[in-house]
């Protein structure tokens, strides 16, 4: 249990304070965190001529506890005196839930407070280590977190305070989740292990449960970070981490370790990288994709760590995140090649490539140009359909069709096409419910060679005028959604935003994340960096849950042969009579 402050304690020197009181059962009140080599708090401060005595006795009238106890509202006059700015939070994602701001703290044991005011807009503009005083004029609560939402009369009393001396090491604390209200916004250092795959946590963020020496098996104990950071440093399940001097956050009952930059966190003991796949990008280049980001300095520029069979040779290699593009000698069309990667190639943590370290790919074939053409996410039994139309013939091998972010664990569609070649004007239909007797009574699989490879006479769900593919997905989400088609190089080829109610107030976080990816690739108009709630819905095609409940009913369709990447390309409302397997009314052959 957290300790109680003893206001009557007045004697205070380094190493002597209000007795042996602790919170979390493991952190001394008046010293550096256990295992921390930093000097005692007041020793660090005394090294700075201008810094005030931030290690004042607990209970000093800094005003944070009084502000946290105040009711929500405006027109307040709450004095905050001599507190230290411990962290500056950038604006990311949904600015209602995740605004720019800064955390303040006076004592190592807290309390602390998040001020949801962008420090760059203040005068003076604040930095970590500033010691400030101000008046809170508005308090609010978001997701259980108490926040100062407007301030006045800001003064900077000093600069350069050692915020590390205010940080608590909570790696062995057992009450972080149960006592999250008292830990909220305090500066912490935590070592632990990621125990879940990362999942959406508001627009632009992901989270995963963690274990520490003090807490195991509690899914409300989480590591939360921007998606870009999760991807950039390969934070994945089973990685061990140390988050250093970061704010302890909360979302209702969830205790969230908030990290926002590479300087906040260090990873160790992550899974070793393996080769995921390889694909020819041209007749003289192949892209090899790994399960983790590749350390650029571990890859030789001459490509000598990549060897091939069938006489193919490498002459150069360049790294981009999880991929390495290797320049090769001329690839023979129709020949399959196997690439083998040397174990001197490593991930960002220096772990060498493990098995599988090989992949097979076909010699380069011109890629097809394909568009999403028709869809229905409202068919009974989850037997939903998405139709693609081939604008220009070629290979669709490795193309991927997703809904939202394609998180299969969350029930989202992620379908990758096998080796497959199409011609201009071909139609491809992707069916949901591959394992459902209702959707797929004939047990159809995939037509890769002919549109009547599995005819409708024996496979009732198929269309004899289209290539039919079946996904085990149990049905598309018919509220708000983003359908995206990726080519074999994982570039967005086409996308469509759809909604059940353009006037709706809220949009799912996974939808917003997918929409941002599409917008930043200039594959939707307007091309925005974020589409939050009504911004998404007002720019999405209507009405995803009003279409027919059978494949023969109405559907959402492209209107003609053009592709302007916006709502104007599509029917709206309940749609029109479906034309799955055929070009739509208003379209002509290319």
pLDDT digits (tens, 9 = 90+) for 370-408: 999 999 999 999 999 999 999 999 999 999 999 999 999
474 exposure class (CB count in 10 Å sphere: 0-12, 13-18, 19+): middle
- Could you give the CA distance from residue 290 to residue 278 in angstroms, rounded to a whole number? 9
pLDDT of residue 503: 83
Q: What pLDDT does residue 55 have?
A: 41
Alpha carbon of 41 to those of 8, 51, 167, 394: distances in Å?
A: 21, 12, 10, 67
Strand partners, 427: 389
For 544-555, letters b (16+ CB in 10 Å) and e give bbbbbeebebbb
Q: Nearest 5°: CA angle at 393, between 392 and 394?
A: 125
> For residues 433 and 377, is the Cβ–Cβ distance under 8 A?
no
SS3 574: coil
**What tokens were used for 8?**
């009557």
Q: How far apart are CA 514 and CA 118, in angstroms?
A: 27
- Of 124, 130, 118, nearest to 158 (Cα)? 130
Tell me the three state secondary structure of residue 379: coil
The predicted structure's pLDDT at residue 96: 73
| pTM score | 0.64
HEC states along 510-547?
HHHHHHHHHHHCCCCCCCCCCCCCHHHHHCCEECCCCC
Q: Work out whether the CA dihedral 248, 115, 89, 245 comes out positive or negative.
A: negative
pLDDT at 93: 67
| CA atoms of 419 and 399, how far apart (whole Å) | 9
Residues (pLDDT < 50) of the chain are: 1-22, 24-60
Residue-level pLDDT at 95: 67
SS3 (DSSP) at 565: coil
CB atoms within 10 A of CB 95: 14
Q: Round to whole Å and give the CA distance between 419 and 368.
A: 12
Q: Phi, psi (5° rounding) for residue 49?
A: -60, -40
What is the dihedral sign for C-alpha 454, 458, 460, 463?
A: positive
């Amino acid at each position: 249990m957290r300790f109680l402050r003893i206001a009557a304690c007045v004697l205070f020197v380094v190493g002597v304070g209000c007795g042996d009181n602790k919170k979390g059962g493991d952190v001394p009140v008046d010293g550096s965190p256990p295992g921390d080599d930093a000097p005692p708090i007041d020793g660090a401060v005394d090294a700075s001529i201008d810094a005030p005595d931030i290690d004042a006795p607990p209970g000093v009238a800094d005003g944070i506890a009084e502000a946290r106890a105040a009711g929500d509202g405006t027109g307040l006059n709450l004095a905050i005196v001599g507190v230290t700015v411990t962290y500056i939070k950038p604006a990311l994602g949904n600015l209602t839930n995740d605004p720019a701001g800064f955390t303040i703290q006076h004592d190592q044991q807290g309390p602390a407070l998040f001020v949801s005011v962008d420090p760059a807009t203040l005068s003076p503009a604040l930095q970590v280590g500033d010691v400030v005083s101000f008046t809170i004029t508005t308090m609010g609560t978001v997701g259980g977190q108490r926040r100062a939402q407007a301030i006045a009369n800001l003064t900077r009393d000093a600069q350069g305070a050692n915020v590390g001396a205010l940080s608590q090491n909570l790696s062995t604390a057992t009450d972080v989740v149960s006592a999250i209200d008292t830990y909220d916004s305090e500066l912490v250092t935590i070592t632990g292990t990621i125990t879940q795959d990362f999942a959406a946590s508001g627009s632009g963020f992901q989270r995963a449960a963690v274990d520490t020496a003090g807490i195991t098996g509690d899914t409300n104990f989480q590591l939360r970070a921007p998606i870009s950071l999760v991807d950039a440093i390969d934070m994945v399940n089973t990685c061990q981490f140390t988050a250093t001097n970061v704010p302890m956050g909360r979302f209702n009952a969830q205790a969230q370790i908030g990290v926002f930059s590479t300087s906040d966190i260090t990873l160790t003991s992550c899974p070793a990288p393996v080769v995921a796949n390889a694909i020819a990008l041209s007749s003289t280049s192949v892209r090899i994709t790994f399960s983790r980001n590749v350390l650029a300095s571990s890859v030789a520029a001459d490509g000598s760590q990549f060897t091939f069979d069938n006489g193919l040779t490498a002459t150069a290699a360049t790294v981009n995140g999880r991929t390495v593009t290797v320049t090769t000698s001329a690839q023979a069309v129709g020949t399959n090649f196997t690439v083998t990667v040397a174990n001197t190639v490593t991930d960002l943590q220096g772990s060498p490539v493990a098995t599988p370290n090989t992949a097979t790919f076909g010699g380069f074939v011109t890629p097809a140009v394909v568009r999403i053409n028709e869809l229905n996410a409202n068919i009974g039994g989850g037997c939903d359909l998405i139709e693609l139309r081939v604008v220009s013939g070629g290979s669709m091998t490795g193309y991927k069709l997703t809904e939202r972010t394609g998180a299969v664990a969350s029930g989202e569609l992620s379908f990758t096409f096998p080796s497959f070649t199409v011609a201009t004007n071909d139609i491809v239909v992707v069916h949901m419910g591959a394992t459902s007797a209702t959707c797929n009574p004939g047990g159809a699989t995939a037509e890769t060679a002919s549109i009547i490879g599995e005819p409708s006479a024996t496979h009732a769900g198929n269309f004899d005028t289209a290539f039919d593919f079946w996904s085990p997905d149990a049905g598309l989400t018919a509220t708000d959604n983003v359908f995206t088609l990726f080519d074999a190089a994982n570039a967005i080829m086409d996308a469509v935003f759809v909604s059940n109610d353009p006037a709706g107030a809220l949009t799912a976080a996974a939808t917003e994340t997918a929409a941002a990816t599409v917008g930043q690739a200039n594959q939707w108009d307007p091309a925005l960096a974020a589409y939050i709630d009504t911004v998404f819905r007002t720019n999405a095609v209507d009405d995803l849950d009003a279409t027919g409940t059978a494949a023969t009913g109405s559907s959402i369709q492209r209107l003609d042969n053009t592709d302007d990447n916006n709502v104007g390309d599509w029917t709206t409302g309940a749609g029109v009579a479906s034309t799955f397997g055929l070009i739509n009314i208003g379209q002509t052959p290319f």
